[in-house]
Amino acid sequence: MNMLGHKLHCVVSVSGIRGIIGDTLTVEQVMGLAQAFGVAVAHCERVVVGRDSRTTGPLLMQAVCAGLRAVGCDVIDLGIVPTPTVAIAVGEHKAFGGIQISASHNPSEWNALKFFNRDGRNVDQTQLDWILECYKDPPMGYHRRWDGVGSYREDRSALEEHFRRVMAAVDVNAIRSTRPRVLLDCVNGAGSVLAPRLLTALGCEVIAIHDRLDLPFPRDPEPTADNLKHLGALVRAANADVGFVQDPDADRLAIVDETGRYLGEEYTLVLCAAARLSAAGPNSLACTNLSTSRMLEDVAARYGARVERTKVGEANVVDGMQKHGAVVGGEGNGGVIDPRVVMGRDSHIGMALVLELLATAKAPLSEVVRTIPTYAIHKEKVAMDRKAVAAAIPGLKAACWAKGAHSDERDGIKLSWPDRWVHLRASGTEPMSRIISEAPGMEQARELADQVRAATGALPAEH
């Protein structure tokens, strides 16, 4: 049976090809996409493959490995590992690419393929287009004969290099001297295989919950305030200095302070940037996307640093980091990028940087946060596709309430004023759009979102 050429009805972006397994994304399609990646990006050479802890992971791992081997790729199966570990392993194994099988923050019924190129970076749009073209119109002779199929082997040591890089990037002795007490929630995801060990090595007293790979996600796995209402009480009960929460593939990090307050994922990058920029000194640079809080500019100014902004998406931020020589980057979704470890989001270096910041500040996390100017940020999902967003841009720019705003149309439309902004863009990971707004107060931030919704006629997206 030809696994290539089947029409896709799932979500397709440089962040991954994702869908509900057995519904919008089938095993046959997964195998075909792996074959297409093996031909178009990996050139039928060595590929590393990892997965998170989802129940469909073993099934899709077999499909991906079979698809890759069928086109001649030699496969290295990393097992259950965080997404950043796969990116690191590409370079360590001198592979031509990598695939992580994970739908990140999406619910259990979802799964996805995340593609990495030879540089250990997410594929860019051009490379994704190659994969899709090869999938839809496979080249002649893409299948190998029986004596030309790729090899297969397992390697369970990929975590060691990831561990080493994080430990080398921070002041371990300073962190150990404070003996922090940490509550860690791995959501029974891939972070369970590395995060508890890493924090212990950093001298933390670790209270780990939801760190079982054999159990399902205990809740909606996206680390948002609504999904983490229980965690504050647990942090207080444990008398912890900080609470860390990972998503299923451990590339995103949410934080709870010692009082039990959920800080919001916007603070993850801001706190990590404070640690890096203070060490890097004046004229250093941070990079983030258009939808991330202006708190980052405030923190950068404190250390004589500056901020560059890009379109939303990890690949775009990484491009910006490389172009401008940034020492830290990330997005307001809890994703932190430290090029000393990996050119991709990594919750593990995020945790280490926050602990380093606390050790340097010699103050509780809540006090460190109070030194950062605060804004109210509002995020919502609306039922608009990419075409509808593009069609709405002229009307939004012409609206009377938008008078005097600076308009940035690199990614949907962002309207900015001196003390507030609102951004409407199509999601790259879900079939809907997002409105993100920030202002001095929550009422003002919500008013901006309301005005965008009213001007576009958008309805709330179904959950």
**Over the stretch 153-170, which tens digit does the pLDDT of each residue have?**
999 999 999 999 999 999
The last residue of one of the domains, among 156, 191, 216, is 156
One-letter amino acid for residue 249 of the chain: D
Which helix (H) or strand (E) covers residue 289, if one does? strand 285-289
Q: Which residues contact 110 (CB under 8 A, 6 or more apart)?
A: 18, 19, 20, 21, 103
Q: What is the CA radius of gyration of the chain?
A: 22
363 belongs to a structural domain: yes
Q: Based on the domain organization, do 357 and 441 belong to the same domain? A: no
Residue 123 has pLDDT above 70, yes or no: yes
Tokens coding 168:
């080398």
pLDDT over 70 for what percent of the chain? 98
For the question of residue 416 being annotated catalytic, the response is no
CA distance 335 to 448: 25
Q: Based on the domain organization, do 137 and 173 belong to the same domain? A: no
Average of per-residue pLDDT values in the chain: 95
Question: Rounded mean pLDDT of 374-380?
Answer: 93
Question: Rounded mean pLDDT of 379-388?
Answer: 94
- The alpha carbon of residue 458 and the mean position of all alpha carbons in its chain are separated, in whole angstroms, by 26
462 belongs to a structural domain: no
Q: Based on the domain organization, do 116 and 190 belong to the same domain? A: no
403 belongs to a structural domain: yes
pLDDT over 90 for what percent of the chain? 88
Predicted confidence (pLDDT) per residue in 186-229, tens digit: 999 999 999 999 999 999 999 999 999 999 999 999 988 899 99
Q: In what order do the strands lie in the sheet with 16-20?
A: 11-13, 16-20, 110-116, 97-101, 47-51, 75-80, 152-154
pLDDT tier, 427 (very low <50, low <70, confident <90, very high otherwise): confident
Q: Based on the domain organization, do 172 and 119 belong to the same domain? A: no
Domain membership of residue 320 as a residue range: 161-370
461 belongs to a structural domain: no
Is residue 448 within 8 Å of 422, Cβ to Cβ? yes
Predicted confidence (pLDDT) per residue in 308-342, tens digit: 999 988 889 999 999 999 999 999 889 999 999 99
The confidence score (pLDDT) of residue 6 equals 57
Q: Based on the domain organization, do 365 and 408 belong to the same domain? A: no
Q: Based on the domain organization, do 137 and 50 belong to the same domain? A: yes
Predicted confidence (pLDDT) per residue in 13-69, tens digit: 888 999 999 999 999 999 999 999 999 999 999 999 999 999 999 999 999 999 999
In Å, what is the CA distance from 455 to each residue of 399, 402, 416, 451?
Answer: 8, 11, 17, 6
CA distance 382 to 114: 25
CA distance 290 to 9: 28
pLDDT tier, 4 (very low <50, low <70, confident <90, very high otherwise): very low
Query: Which of 108, 109, 88, 92 is closest to 100 using CA atoms?
Result: 88
Residue 1 has pLDDT above 60, yes or no: no
CA distance 299 to 410: 25
Query: Which of 300, 306, 244 is closest to 270 using CA atoms?
Result: 300
Q: Based on the domain organization, do 359 and 393 belong to the same domain? A: no
Predicted confidence (pLDDT) per residue in 200-210, tens digit: 999 999 999 99
Is residue 312 within 8 Å of 320, Cβ to Cβ? no
6 belongs to a structural domain: no
The CATH number given to whatever domain includes residue 277 is: 3.40.120.10
One-letter amino acid for residue 462 of the chain: E
The last residue of one of the domains, among 137, 156, 175, is 156
The confidence score (pLDDT) of residue 258 equals 98
Q: Based on the domain organization, do 242 and 363 belong to the same domain? A: yes
Q: Based on the domain organization, do 278 and 147 belong to the same domain? A: no
Question: Rounded mean pLDDT of 133-144?
Answer: 87
In Å, what is the CA distance from 249 to each residue of 7, 120, 389?
Answer: 27, 16, 30
Q: Based on the domain organization, do 216 and 339 belong to the same domain? A: yes
The CATH number given to whatever domain includes residue 441 is: 3.30.310.50
CA distance 263 to 225: 8
Residue in 53, 104, 347, 433 annotated catalytic: 104
398 belongs to a structural domain: yes
Provide the domain count of the chain.
3
The last residue of one of the domains, among 111, 133, 156, is 156
* Beta bridge partners of residue 378, listed in sequence order: 437
Q: Based on the domain organization, do 431 and 335 belong to the same domain? A: no
Q: Which residues contact 31 (CB under 8 A, 6 or more apart)?
A: 3, 63, 64, 66, 67
Residue 401 has pLDDT above 70, yes or no: yes
Q: Which residues contact 66 (CB under 8 A, 6 or more apart)?
A: 31, 34
Q: Based on the domain organization, do 361 and 380 belong to the same domain? A: no
More confident residue, 424 or 463: 424
Q: In what order do the strands lie in the sheet with 406-408?
A: 376-382, 433-439, 420-426, 413-417, 406-408
4 belongs to a structural domain: no
5 belongs to a structural domain: no
In Å, what is the CA distance from 450 to each residue of 291, 377, 447, 456?
Answer: 17, 13, 5, 10
The confidence score (pLDDT) of residue 315 equals 85
